[in-house]
Amino acid sequence: MIFLESDYTEGAHEAILQALTRTNLQSVSGYGADPYCQRAKEKIRQACQCPQADIYFFVGGSQTNGAVIRSFLSPCEGVVCADSGHIFTNEGGTVEFSGHKVMTLPNCQGKLDPAQLEAYLARCQADPIANHKVHPGMVYISHPTELGTLYTAEELEQLHRICRQYQLPLYLDGARLGYGLMAEGASVDLPLIARYCDAFYIGGTKVGALCGEALVFPNHNAPKYFFTLMKQHGALLAKGRLLGVQFDALFTDDLYFKISRHAIQMANQLKAGLREKGYDFYLESPTNQQFVIFPSHQAARLSDKVKFSIWQPLGDDKVVVRLVTSWATQPSALGQLMELL
């Protein structure tokens, strides 16, 4: 079976497993008060060029989103995002569970359009009965988006400026951040994100870790009692080392970037192969998620030998198929896929 289903179908990069093994019997205090977490945080601060950053490690992305969003919003505020945003579509109502509304704008190939955002916030502000309604309280974007697309540096700067104007925190969900940073033509890097966002997380689970996301408040701006809030959300690991050791390894010798680049190379190879065979793409994605248009019968037949997901049906008996590469994708797997097509 060829796995192109997601970027979390294998365990961890071997350097991570080795680090876990190497440090395994060292006795350290719990809940993140260990030297591995400290070291990992220091390396991330350097990579982001924000020496004052507050950093917290989480086990997964929905958990991180849930905690950050709740910590930023006051009771009658909601979070604004594109209607393709993971927090709106696929997180089982985590935001609503914490009492808040997700306020959506139509996505532009997965992205939140700065002009639309600005117009929306202006409309909210001018609304004569605004005080009967949920107030926009922060802005959520994902980078790469759920559709594999990327914001440009200019777009990110615009979002930042609009958020500043309306005094709304800007939060970036980087579940697949490495793949976004290493994409060809990417104009957004970690220091830029740290400069333009009030919080963001560097995804580990989908980029080589067993589990783990590193949440960054770049300006020492973690909300009050954020540690307790993690506890309250069930997000505090007794063995915090599990996350510290992994991020320490990921940010040693550029491992995070190297393995991300590998996934991009695999995606490019996949795209080239599919193009050569005449397949159309649902949209142009520069990252590790590719959305390809297949005849329905071919998708059905292929599913015996390849694991992938059906993104959505199209007309004319066609479907959009999502194929995902990762740090662990073997070139041979892509070769086998091409032979099957």
Of 62-101, binders to a second copy (CB under 8 A) are 62-67, 70-71, 74-78, 89-101
* Helix and strand counts by DSSP (H, E) for the chain: 14, 13
Contact between 167 and a second copy per CB under 8 A: no
Contact between 12 and a second copy per CB under 8 A: yes
Minimum separation from the CB atom of position 35 to a second copy (A): 12
* Binding region for a second copy (CB under 8 A) out of 13-21, 165-173, 194-202, 214-222: 13-21
User: Which x/- pattern over 116-145 shows residues binding a second copy (rule: CB under 8 A)?
Assistant: ------------xx-xxxxx----------
Q: Which is nearer to a second copy, 70 or 143 (CB)?
A: 70
**CB distance 288 to 168 below 8 Å:** no
Q: Which residue has the tokens 């709106």?
A: 88
| 11: DSSP letter | -
Minimum separation from the CB atom of position 129 to a second copy (A): 7
Q: Which is nearer to a second copy, 21 or 46 (CB)?
A: 21
Contact between 149 and a second copy per CB under 8 A: no
How far is CA 79 from its chain centroid? 17
DSSP code string of 171-233: EEEETTHHHHHTSTT----HHHHHHH-SEEEEE-TTTT-SS-EEEEETTS-PPTTHHHHHHHT
Structure token pair of residue 166? 């309306």
Minimum separation from the CB atom of position 66 to a second copy (A): 5
Residue 221, judged by CB atoms within 10 A of its CB (0-12, 13-18, 19+), counts as: middle
β-pairing, 102-105 with 77-82?
parallel
Of 289-318, binders to a second copy (CB under 8 A) are 307, 309-310
* Binding region for a second copy (CB under 8 A) out of 3-11, 111-119, 164-172, 289-297: 3-11
Of 207-266, binders to a second copy (CB under 8 A) are 210-211, 223-225, 227-229, 231-239, 241-242
